[in-house]
Amino acid sequence: MRRVFACLAMLAGCAWLLGTAPVAVARTRVLRVGTYHGIRGQYKTIQAAVNHAKPGDFILIAPGDYKTKSWKFPKGSGRQFPAGVLIQTPDLTVRGMNRNTVTVDGTKKHSAKCSDKKAAQNFGPGSSGGPAGLNGIEVWKADDVSVENLTVCNFLGGSGGDGGTGNEIWWNGGANSGKIDGWDYLGSYLTATSTWYNTKVSPATAEVSAAEYGIFSSNWDGGTWSDTYASNMNDSGYYIGACQQECNQVVNDAWAEYNALGYSGSNSGGRLVVKNSQFDNNEDGFDTNSQNGDEPSPQNGACPDNGISPITHTSSCWVFMDNYVHNNNDPDVPTAGFAAAGPVGTGMSISGGRNDTVMDNKFENNGAWGNIIVPFPDEGPPCTGGTGGQTSSTLCLFDEYGDAIIDNHYKNDGYWGNPTNGDFEATNLEPDEPTDCFSGNTEIGGGSITPEDQTLEQEYPSCNGNAVAPDDNTEFTTEVLCDSQISFGGAGSTPCPPGSSYPRFSESKIHDGLHKLPPKRKLKSMPHPCKGVPRNPWCPASKK
């Protein structure tokens, strides 16, 4: 968009050569919120600046605690997805002047910043089922919007418990539509967290009090997150979903901890790369899966149009690489609802995912498994890409296949010592599906991977597309179901085999305050927040 403005400016400047009247050209404006270095901006609230912004504008936000005094519903949403800050104008840059001191805050006016007091929480607009919850910064079907250099906290889920609220930062291309209606974004130098979760009620009710997702993209094609952090989420710190094979997104230098899932990706594949990131102290470090909901399913990492990835040099364009996944053993994070089924002690789960590549990562000190590849049992229709699900009460099975576990490094994974606990393991249930493959995986510090893992590498060294027979890997499958406390067919939790034991959620160990943010030195702020911004009173000598 800015290149278009530049071209128009050139035409206007040369109009005299063409013998025509000058063309009126829109200028990139800088809208300032709050007071920075004693200089007052034009607006007191972020939403007011957003309301007055035009495509191409910058919105700069001074340090401060920006409380949610009201909310807006996206146009055409049917009064769904209310947000404290709603952006519906494309090609905006919304940038804080300091990541750690610019806070978009879901708590009530006059409360402390990101207060952990129950009375301070804002549960959003009412609905027939109770408080609807609230989102923080929501970009609704607006292309090329950048959100940078700020913190968002305490936007909580509502009575629906469906992820429509409770999201700290959300690029929403039309949730529940089954369509892509958002293109390109940038999220950088962002922190998303929450300080409150009510454990004094039933798990189903507790989910209403939880923040659901930290940094979230759905129904979107194209975008990058870089230098970000997310913690204390009831579902996942990061989420990319409902983009099937059109995701075209990159997650770089992310850090997720103290979430039910560090990352969750439902029905998100194609060109999607997660790299140089850390997932630790979650219940389950990283999970990508196929499922009903956030359609269209399934999750498929194959390159679109039969292409070849420049990273893997194979037909798999979904790549998890150069990440550090460790110590994901915490059952006492906020966890209620579906995400609670993540198997505690697991570094990474591919659940009903297909054609994904996991390469050159470190998996360390995950008590159950470093990484696992398993089917995903859901229920009912539409079951697109799955098997069964003809009625709401019947099993919809998303089997996994074509996944590559290559050149990863393991240390002390599976130390809980239950049967099959270890570095990596897999189960597939349906016939004539392409083989998974395992090769080049090693132990950190020397030594060989376990004999069981060596057998997998010897039997399936290449994802060559050859069909393999089903292998329900009964002992391993039973252990995963025991750990995650779910079952096939919804018949109640699978009992653990004699002698097996996995940590369970304990109300006595989690507290309303949750985990505090890391020191500010570990959450680096944008070095030059004036870079690229037109000159203005806050940036008198702007850097290009």
Q: How far apart are CA 176 and CA 70, in angstroms?
A: 24
Look over the chain and give the mean of its residue pLDDT values, rounded to a whole number: 90
Among 154, 162, 159, 137, smallest CA distance to 87 is for 137
Does any domain span residue 252?
A: no
The string of pLDDT tens digits covering residues 275-306 is 999 999 999 999 999 999 899 999 999 999 99
Q: In what helix (H) or strand (E) does residue 480 lie, and over which residues does it extend?
A: helix 474-484
Given a cut of 90, whether residue 506 has pLDDT beyond it is no
Amino acid identity of residue 328, one-letter, is N
Instruction: Give the model's pLDDT for residue 337.
Output: 60
Distance of CA 151 to the CA centre of its chain: 16
The CB density around residue 325, as the number of other CB atoms within 10 Å, is: 29
Quickly state the pLDDT bin for 339 (edges 50, 70, 90). Answer: low
In a domain, 493, yes or no: yes
Peptide bond into 382 cis (omega under 30): yes
Q: Which domain holds residue 353?
A: 273-505
Task: Look at residue 5 and tell me whether its pLDDT is greater than 70.
Answer: no
- State the DSSP string of 77-118: SSS-S-EEEEE-SSS-EEEES-TTTEEEE-BPTTSPTT---G
pLDDT at 335: 77
pLDDT at 491: 55
Q: How many domains does the chain have?
A: 1
Instruction: Supply the pLDDT for residue 25.
Output: 47
Distance of CA 404 to the CA centre of its chain: 22
- Evaluate if residue 13 carries a pLDDT over 80: no
Phi then psi for 154, rounded to 5 degrees? 60, 35
Coil vs helix vs strand at 5: helix
- On whether residue 396 sits in a domain, the answer given is yes
What's the mean pLDDT in 27-33? Answer: 94
The answer, yes or no, to whether residue 11 has pLDDT greater than 50, is no
DSSP letter for 121, please. Answer: B
Residue pLDDT, tens place only, 81-110: 999 999 999 999 999 999 999 999 999 999
- Over residues 453-465, the pLDDT tens digits come to 999 999 999 999 9
Q: Do β-strands 272-275 and 437-439 pair in parallel, antiparallel, or remain unpaired?
A: unpaired
Asked if residue 255 lies in contact with residue 285, where contact means CB atoms within 8 angstroms, the answer is no
pLDDT tens sequence across 243-268: 999 999 999 999 999 999 999 999 99
**With contact defined as beta carbons under 8 Å apart, do 287 and 349 qualify?**
yes
pLDDT score recorded for residue 3: 37
CA distances (Å), origin 70, targets 85, 135, 460:
9, 11, 56
Higher pLDDT, 76 or 5: 76
Mean of the pLDDT values across residues 360-382?
96
Kindly state whether residue 343 falls inside one of the protein's structural domains. yes
pLDDT recorded at residue 199? 73
Distance between CA atoms of residues 399 and 383, nearest Å: 11
* C-alpha span between 142 and 173 (Å, rounded): 8
- For 31, 86, 457, the CA distances from 51, given in Å and listed in that order, are 11, 9, 57
Q: Is residue 381 part of a domain?
A: yes
**Residue 297 belongs to a domain:** yes
Higher per-residue pLDDT: 428 or 200 = 428
How do residues 172-210 score in pLDDT, each as one tens digit?
Answer: 999 999 999 999 999 999 999 999 988 777 666 777 788
Mean local confidence (pLDDT), 230-251: 96
Q: Which amino acid is at 13?
A: G
Alpha carbon distance, N-terminus to C-terminus of the chain: 17
In contact, 48 and 85? CB cutoff 8 Å: no
Segment 395-406, tens digit of pLDDT: 999 999 999 999
pLDDT at 544 > cutoff 70:
no
Residue 385 domain flag? yes
199: in domain: no
pTM score over 0.75: yes
